[in-house]
């Protein structure tokens, strides 16, 4: 909150790299396991980041992260190619007023990710700390399971103002738009076709109350954002192609911090409403029901709720374990369907518009529901400050709306259970 200005100026460079192994429980129910589960069981360089961060002046500081993905793209011959782009960026002016009976910290941030400014770890930008590798064998690890988030996504551009009064009440308001012109560096490295395009100014707000007693701290918070996102980043002339998102959330975090013990408990729940562009709403689908009757058209609006809970214990800042629960529930929508009854044959077929059927058989949805539910258990060890070994297991009770045969081709939610081993290097 003080704008990364504590301490002396120094060389503002740090780096992080992750090596990992992902293994999916069942890779047999696939037409092309090499495509569906790339690098399964192989040790890979997962990702790396360079951080330019620290004090610029007594009141101005910066946090910026540039991330390299070794598996960003894959050519027709199957070879992977790496790519770098701007990740999280937060540039701040901050100051404080300290009186005899009160205190006030205040500041202004220019940033590219709603909630990246937040001091707590229960918001969209920070609760998901795992840098997930790109190969498809990693798509079921906890970092890719449902997390509370905003429809706007990241790599946009915004300005927010915040204040923290008497170390209890925190408030922040801001507005976000497309990263262009002076703010184009907020999405550096992304092509024009891959850059989120927003219409106008999209509001974001945050409010929390926190208090301490002895070694304990408790925070209770709420957050919200409304955003208007163009369906095609290359076509921003037609307002009928806009997705309208409204995201509202409540969260809480408890911490006990007294060496050699650290306990953290987190809770976050978001309610999300997504209004479709006219071109995607109320569209017929290629499937019929078991009796051969037409299914309902796609929805004009979807709603969902994402719940995340996690408890972590660390001993001597060296050994630790955590247990997390995730759940996504929402309205049924025939737009989710990638498999169903074919009108001609009356048998289960894949979506005729699917460009990669073998992948749809694993990622597919035969229920029309988004429901996802599961648990993640992790243990970790930090022999030194710069090195962290982790073992994580994610278990699914439901995936894409069902526990069994969720894709229409015999795959069960538990088939996606994934063991993830990681080594973090940080300097």
Q: How far apart are CA 148 and CA 308, in angstroms?
A: 7
Domains in the chain, please, with CATH?
A: 13-426 (2.40.160)
Per-residue tens of pLDDT for the chain, all 427 residues: 999 999 888 889 999 999 999 999 999 888 888 889 999 999 999 999 999 999 999 999 999 999 999 999 999 888 999 999 999 999 999 999 999 899 999 999 999 999 999 999 999 999 887 788 999 999 999 999 999 999 999 999 999 999 999 999 999 999 999 999 999 999 999 999 999 999 999 999 999 999 999 999 999 999 999 999 999 999 999 999 999 999 999 999 999 999 999 999 999 999 999 999 998 999 998 888 888 899 999 999 999 999 999 999 999 999 999 999 999 999 999 999 988 888 888 888 776 555 544 456 788 899 999 999 999 999 999 999 999 999 999 999 999 999 999 998 899 999 999 999 999 999 9
Give the torsion sign (CA, 172, 178, 179, 180). negative
Neighbours of 85 (CB within 10 A): 17
Q: How far apart are CA 336 and CA 327, in angstroms?
A: 17
Q: Return the structure tokens found at 128.
A: 């998901």
User: Which residue do the tokens 């214990």 mark?
Assistant: 313
Q: Return the structure tokens found at 55.
A: 């004090």
- CB 204 within 8 Å of CB 246: no
Query: DSSP string spanning 270-285?
Result: EEEEEEPPTTTTT---
Q: Return the structure tokens found at 326.
A: 């995730």
User: Does pTM top 0.75 for this prediction?
Assistant: yes
Which of these, 165, 244, 234, lies nearest to 200 by C-alpha position?
A: 244
User: Which residue do the tokens 């002076």 mark?
Assistant: 182
Rounded to 10 degrees, the C-alpha dihedral 148/250/243/84 comes to: -40
Q: Return the SS3 of 127.
A: helix
């Amino acid at each position: 909150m003080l704008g990364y200005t504590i301490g002396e100026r120094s060389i503002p460079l740090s780096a992080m790299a992750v090596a990992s192994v992902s293994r999916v429980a069942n890779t047999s129910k696939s037409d092309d396991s090499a495509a569906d589960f790339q690098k399964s069981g192989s040790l890979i360089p997962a990702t790396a980041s360079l951080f330019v961060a620290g004090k610029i002046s007594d009141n101005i500081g910066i946090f910026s992260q540039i991330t390299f993905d070794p598996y960003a793209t894959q050519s027709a011959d199957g070879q992977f190619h790496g790519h770098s782009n701007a990740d999280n960026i937060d540039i701040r002016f901050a100051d404080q007023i300290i009186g005899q009976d009160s205190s006030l910290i205040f500041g202004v941030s220019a940033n590219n990710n709603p909630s990246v400014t937040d001091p707590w770890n229960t918001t969209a930008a920070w609760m998901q700390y795992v840098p997930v590798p790109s190969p498809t064998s990693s798509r079921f690890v906890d970092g890719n399971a449902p997390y509370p988030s905003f429809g706007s996504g990241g790599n946009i551009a915004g300005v927010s103002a915040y204040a923290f009064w008497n170390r209890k009440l925190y408030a922040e308001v801001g507005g976000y738009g497309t990263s262009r012109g002076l703010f184009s560096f907020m999405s550096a490295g992304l092509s024009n076709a891959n850059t989120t395009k927003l219409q106008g100014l999209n509001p974001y707000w945050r409010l929390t109350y926190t208090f301490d007693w002895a070694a304990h701290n408790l925070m209770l918070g709420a957050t919200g954002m409304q955003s208007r996102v163009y369906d095609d980043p290359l076509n921003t002339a037609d307002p009928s192609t806009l997705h309208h998102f409204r995201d509202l959330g409540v969260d809480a975090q408890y911490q006990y911090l007294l060496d050699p013990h650290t306990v953290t408990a987190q809770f976050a729940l978001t309610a999300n409403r997504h209004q479709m562009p006219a071109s995607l709403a109320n569209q017929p689908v290629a499937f019929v029901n078991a009796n051969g009757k037409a299914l309902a058209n796609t929805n004009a609006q979807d709603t969902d709720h994402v719940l995340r809970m996690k408890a972590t214990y660390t001993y001597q800042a060296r050994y630790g374990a955590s247990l997390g629960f995730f759940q996504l529930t929402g309205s049924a929508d025939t737009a989710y369907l990638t498999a169903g009854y074919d009108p001609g044959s009356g048998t289960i077929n894949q979506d005729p518009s699917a460009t990669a059927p073998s992948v749809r058989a694993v990622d597919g949805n035969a229920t029309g529901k988004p429901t996802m539910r599961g648990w993640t258990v992790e243990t970790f060890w930090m022999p030194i400050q710069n090195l962290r070994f982790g073992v994580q297991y994610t278990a699914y009770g439901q995936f894409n709306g069902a526990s069994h045969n969720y894709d229409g081709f015999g795959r069960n939610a538990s088939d996606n259970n994934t063991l993830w081993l990681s080594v973090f290097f940080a300097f």
